[in-house]
């Protein structure tokens, strides 16, 4: 418990933001997770890799993958030159493996068109393959220390609760949410970086979607949502929990996992799954074939004329 009094939120948004900033900065100082890409220890490219990996995967799960990845491919040029099969294999169980190929496309552009230096402007970053508003903003803030509002699911949820007293809506961030993020962003660049990081961290560790730990929250005294009795807690979660068992996503994962573990063909180094082995992976043949076809369409596997599969080179 932080000792924060649970008084009803009051005052205008900017003054409450200034109060919350002080408390959050102190909380961040004491509670920030020591992730290897934080605190200036990673290159801008390393920060971008961490953001791409964390988009649909918890940061704590990302750490071993990021560490092995950066050891093997420390910069964009190294990743650009890697065989696709290695890139897909190293992505492991991070999920949504198309992200791995998009990251390699991004690396190729950075290596060949940007002199192996990640661009330093938002406009140039967002023009890269696979880089959207969130990733470009996060790199500008976390890698380059620029003043820019970062808007992700966690930040939207925290800002909406603290300053509007309600749950954030699903779907993409709307103009009002962006305006709020801009309004409460500290004017000073270095403070804005800590603000972005600490609000995001609070959303990951304390102000979670289903079970916010308000009794342990450093901004409880500034929070309109708490003051209002947490109306509709969790009702408008940004993304409903998805069933995984039996989905095409699961089947695609099983096929890719089997390919990663398959023995290589001598002289080629490519892992191959014979058709009979593929058919043994999943009972529902229609679903299996659909998933194999979609992996092929996504460029994640290659199908030989005899029906065997391998990772692309
Ligand atoms: S944890 Fe509770 S008090 Fe803190 S910001 Fe979230 S809803 Fe408000």
192 vs 185: CA distance, rounded Å:
6
Model pLDDT for residues 11-57, shown as the tens digit of each residue: 588 888 999 999 999 999 999 999 999 999 999 999 999 999 998 88
For residue 227, CA distances in Å to 6, 10, 234 come to 8, 10, 16
Atom of ligand 1 nearest to the CA of 214: 2
Pairing of strands 309-310, 272-273: antiparallel
Task: Evaluate whether 311 touches 91 at the Cβ level (below 8 Å).
Answer: no
For residue 255 and ligand 1, the question of a CB distance below 6 A is answered with no
CA angle 97/44/38 to nearest 5° reads 85
- Positive/negative CA dihedral, 7, 8, 12, 13: positive
Burial 138-172 (b: 16+ CB within 10 A, else e): bbbbbbbebbbbbbbbbbbbbbbbbbbbebbeeee
Catalytic hit among 51, 167, 177, 201: 51
For residue 24 and ligand 1, the question of a CB distance below 6 A is answered with no
**CA of residue 274 to ligand 1 center, whole Å:** 53
Task: Evaluate whether 51 touches 139 at the Cβ level (below 8 Å).
Answer: yes
Model pLDDT for residues 243-274, shown as the tens digit of each residue: 778 899 999 999 999 998 887 644 455 678 99
For residue 17 and ligand 1, the question of a CB distance below 6 A is answered with no
136 vs 125: CA distance, rounded Å:
5
Atom of ligand 1 nearest to the CA of 206: 1
**CA of residue 198 to ligand 1 center, whole Å:** 13
What is the model's pTM? Answer: 0.85
For residue 220 and ligand 1, the question of a CB distance below 6 A is answered with yes
**CA of residue 199 to ligand 1 center, whole Å:** 11
61 vs 35: CA distance, rounded Å:
11
289: which 2 tokens? 């074939």
* pLDDT per residue rounded down to tens, the chain (313 residues): 344 444 444 458 888 899 999 999 999 999 999 999 999 999 999 999 999 999 888 888 999 999 999 999 999 999 999 999 999 999 988 988 999 999 999 999 999 999 999 999 999 999 999 999 999 999 999 999 999 999 999 999 999 999 999 999 877 888 889 999 999 999 999 999 999 999 999 999 999 999 999 999 999 999 999 999 999 897 755 455 567 788 999 999 999 999 988 876 444 556 789 999 999 999 999 999 999 999 999 999 999 989 899 998 8
Q: Give catalytic status of residue 166 as yes or no.
A: no
Helix (H) and strand (E) counts in the chain: 15, 3
**Residues 6 or more apart whose Cβ sits within 8 Å of residue 263:** 271, 272
Mutation choice for ligand 1 from 3, 160, 220, 222, CB with most ligand atoms inside 8 A? 220
- R_g (Cα) of the chain, nearest Å: 22
**CA of residue 223 to ligand 1 center, whole Å:** 6
Mutation choice for ligand 1 from 17, 221, 226, CB with most ligand atoms inside 8 A? 226
For residue 217 and ligand 1, the question of a CB distance below 6 A is answered with yes
């Amino acid at each position: 418990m932080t000792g924060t009094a649970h008084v009803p939120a009051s005052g205008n948004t900017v003054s409450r933001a200034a109060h919350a900033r002080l408390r959050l900065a102190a909380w961040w100082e004491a509670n920030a997770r020591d992730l290897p890409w934080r605190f200036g220890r990673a290159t801008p490219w390393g920060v971008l890799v961490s953001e791409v990996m964390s988009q649909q995967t918890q940061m704590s799960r990302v750490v071993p993958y990021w560490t092995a990845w950066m050891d093997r491919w420390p910069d964009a040029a190294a990743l650009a030159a890697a065989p696709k099969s290695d890139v897909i294999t190293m992505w492991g169980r991070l999920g949504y493996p198309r992200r791995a190929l998009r990251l390699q496309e991004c690396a190729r552009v950075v290596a060949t068109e940007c002199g192996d230096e990640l661009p330093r402007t938002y406009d140039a970053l967002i023009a890269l393959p696979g880089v959207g508003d969130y990733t470009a903003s996060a790199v500008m803030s976390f890698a380059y220390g620029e003043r820019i509002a970062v808007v992700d699911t966690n930040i939207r949820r925290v800002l909406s609760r603290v300053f509007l007293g309600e749950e954030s809506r699903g779907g993409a961030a709307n103009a009002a949410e962006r305006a709020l993020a801009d309004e409460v962003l500290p004017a000073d660049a270095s403070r804005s970086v800590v603000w972005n990081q600490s609000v995001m961290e609070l959303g990951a560790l304390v102000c979670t979607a289903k079970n916010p730990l308000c009794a342990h929250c450093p901004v409880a005294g500034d929070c309109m949502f708490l003051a209002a009795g947490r109306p509709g807690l969790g009702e408008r979660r940004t993304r409903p929990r998805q069933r995984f068992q039996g989905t095409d996503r699961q089947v695609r994962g099983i096929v890719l996992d089997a390919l990663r573990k398959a023995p290589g063909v001598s002289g080629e180094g490519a892992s191959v799954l014979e058709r009979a082995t593929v058919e043994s992976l999943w009972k529902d043949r229609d679903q299996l074939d659909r998933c194999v076809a979609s992996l092929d369409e996504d460029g994640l596997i290659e199908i030989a004329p005899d029906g065997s599969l391998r990772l692309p080179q």
